[in-house]
Amino acid sequence: MLRAMVSDLFGRGEWALGPVMNPRIRVAYVVQSPVIGGLQRCVANLCNHLDRQWFWPMVISLTKSGPAAQWIRRDDVPIIELHKPSGNDLGVVFRLARTLRRHRVDIVHSHNWGTLVETTLARRLARVAVHVHAERGTVLGDLEIRGVKRRVRAAAMGWALRRADSVVSNALATARRIEATCGYRAGRVRVIPNGVEEPAAADRHQTRRRVRRTLGVPADAPVVGSVGRLVPVKAFHLAIEALAQLGAPQQHGAPPHLVLVGDGPEREALRRRAVSLGLDDRVHLVGYRQDVGNWLAAMDVYVNTSLSEGMSQSIVEAMAFGLPLVVTDVGDSAVVVDGRAPCGVVVPPADVEALGRALQILLSDEPRRVALACNARSRYQACYAMPAMVAAYGKMYAELVGHSANPERAFHQEAVVRGGTE
């Protein structure tokens, strides 16, 4: 069967066609599934913003397309589904290789454990010149994995990473986690921080009033909020439990509300937790929303309760919008938020009391909130705006193609670095 699959892969006439002298570097982003998440947001941003004079991006989902595909605003970005079933599937390696070869991809860019081994094998079959692998957040794909399964995955990860041309992450913490997990040196991981677009809201004051009226939030009630998938690693139940500790910030003020923007498997459990604490009228689970800026406009403090992160895109979006933050000390969150001109308060992960204290302090101190918000805007503009991230990836791609075995592409290294991305 394996011999037949290989014969089928390389025996088709379409594979015998000579190279097309397209001057653009073809980059294929391989994802497990375009669900809603920070990884998918980063891929969409690169697809939207890479300079089309030099690059032609495409997205390959090992499973099927998903709601994150709507984040890609360009009509010239193919999204290809390979329909991988759950579990291991050798056939997806050959389908991926066939796709890479058919589209004459120059760089295949895989993401996280769920695509690493498949892309490593397919890249070799399809003879793609360059393989970039990105690790973001939870290494090995599952915080709970233990024992033999973890050791096998770690060995496979180390084997695959050593065969990639470049390993990239959005966080120093993730680079260190990679080394601890599989022995691939953190110093070899190229760290490119997330770049995000500033979330849009047409008129923030009017939007703030409108959204609060929709939720039934009193005008004088402070609002704590967050945006993200409702999954266990985000630990949004901690925000609900912290809300139960909070009193009104002023003697006669209204008690605070919590707004969680996003959807996921934990939604019903979060609703039940709010009800059990008598907070169902002050915890608002509004589901997935595209107009994130409108919901940020309703918030006074942004909270991130994650148990594990690389570099959170939602934190940076809140900074871009000018919100003070309370975040857990996971991944690079402290690096992003804390420092000489802090944007918020950093608390230990899974510490409800510390989370509640930090929120109470900020909600009771408007001048401090204003100062932190100003710092957040300044740091976003200096470090995390979209052009810097896109330029860093463009430069990396050009350098890798310049050093690859594709001589007809080598001229791009100098051209892109000088004219396309810097």
Rounded to an integer, what distance in angstroms lies between the CA atom of residue 303 and that of residue 288? Answer: 17
Domain 2-195+385-420 shares a fold with domain 204-384: yes
Percent of the chain at pLDDT > 70 equals 87
pLDDT digits (tens, 9 = 90+) for 130-144: 999 999 877 776 656
Q: What is the pLDDT of residue 251?
A: 52
Predicted confidence (pLDDT) per residue in 347-406, tens digit = 999 999 999 999 999 999 999 999 999 999 999 999 999 999 999 999 999 999 986 644
Domain assignments of the chain as residue spans, ordered by start: 2-195+385-420, 204-384
What confidence score (pLDDT) does residue 38 get?
78
- Determine contact, residues 154/384, Cβ cutoff 8 Å: no
Q: Would you state the CATH architecture of domain 2-195+385-420? A: 3-Layer(aba) Sandwich (3.40)
**Which residues is 189 bridged to in the sheet?**
167
Is the pLDDT at 270 greater than 60, yes or no? yes
What pLDDT is attached to residue 143? Answer: 54
Are residues 38 and 314 in contact, defined by beta-carbon separation less than 8 angstroms? Answer: yes
187-210 residue pLDDT tens? 999 999 999 888 887 788 999 999
CATH architecture of 204-384: 3-Layer(aba) Sandwich (3.40)
Is the pLDDT reported for residue 13 higher than 80? no
Tell me which residue of 208, 238, 221, 231 sits closest to 321, measured CA to CA.
208
pLDDT band at 67 (very low <50, low <70, confident <90, very high): confident
